[in-house]
């Protein structure tokens, strides 16, 4: 038995993902503020659009991807109930109304209709789509909430750009050769 598998209630069928594209949207991650009794993995849609959500995670039996949860604008849903079974979770979301997606470089299997797929290997050969998910590091918390926002609502969360390390100063203020 898989712990934390979401109930099938509240899910609807997803339209064709291939027709969607365009605006890249931003995901803002934050720890849950729920009390110790409520341990869940939640997702909030803070956009003005309807969105479809797919979730990937690794439990004691291996990798699983599940979808679709359909969230109306400005709403939240619990994707997994109970204490989290992993530190890392993976999200793929699509904006049904304006196009665009929240995606990443962690490739997992999905399909257009409601699904639960075991394993992330050979997606295409097994008749599934290969979809890029973004990683959520829960820091081993018991509960977590992901906030999806539009790029116009908040600046993208980016890692620092690569920079050349500073060269230590030489005695007497001299510069290293080539500078």
What would the two tokens of residue 103 be?
Answer: 């995606």
Confidence of residue 38 (pLDDT cuts 50, 70, 90): low
Compare 18 and 104 and report the one with higher pLDDT.
104
Q: Give the per-residue pLDDT at 81.
A: 92
Confidence of residue 30 (pLDDT cuts 50, 70, 90): very low
Tell me, what DSSP letter sits at residue 3?
T
Q: With 60 as the cut, is the pLDDT of residue 66 above it? A: yes
Q: How far apart are CA 155 and CA 44, in angstroms?
A: 18
Please write the tens of the pLDDT for every residue from 68-112: 999 999 999 999 999 888 899 999 999 999 999 999 999 999 999
Instruction: Classify domain 25-153 by CATH number.
Output: 2.60.40
Spatial neighbors of 75 by CB under 8 A, at least 6 apart, are 44, 45
- DSSP class per residue in 96-124: TTT--EE--SEEEEE-SSSEEEE--SSTT
Please write the tens of the pLDDT for every residue from 133-177: 999 999 978 889 999 998 654 433 333 333 333 333 444 444 444
Q: How far apart are CA 78 and CA 6, in angstroms?
A: 8
Q: Give the per-residue pLDDT at 90.
A: 97
Q: Give the per-residue pLDDT at 85.
A: 83
Q: Give the per-residue pLDDT at 83.
A: 86
Domain assignments of the chain as residue spans, ordered by start: 25-153
């Amino acid at each position: 038995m898989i712990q934390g598998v979401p109930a099938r209630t509240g899910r609807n069928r997803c339209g064709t993902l291939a027709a969607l594209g365009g605006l890249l949207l931003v995901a803002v991650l934050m720890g849950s503020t729920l009390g110790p009794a409520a341990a869940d993995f939640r997702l909030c849609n803070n956009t003005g659009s309807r969105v479809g959500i797919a979730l990937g995670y690794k439990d004691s039996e291996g990798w699983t991807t599940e979808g679709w949860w359909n969230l109306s604008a400005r709403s939240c849903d619990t994707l997994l109930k109970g204490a989290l079974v992993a530190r890392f979770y993976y999200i793929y979301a699509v904006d049904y109304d304006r196009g665009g997606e929240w995606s990443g470089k962690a490739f997992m299997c999905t399909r257009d209709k409601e699904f639960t797929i075991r394993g992330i290997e050979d997606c295409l050969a097994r008749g599934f789509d290969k979809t890029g998910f973004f990683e959520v590091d829960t820091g081993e918390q018991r509960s977590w909430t992901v906030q999806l926002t539009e790029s116009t609502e908040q600046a993208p969360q980016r890692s620092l750009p690569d920079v050349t390390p500073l060269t230590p100063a030489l005695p007497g203020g001299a510069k290293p050769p080539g500078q």
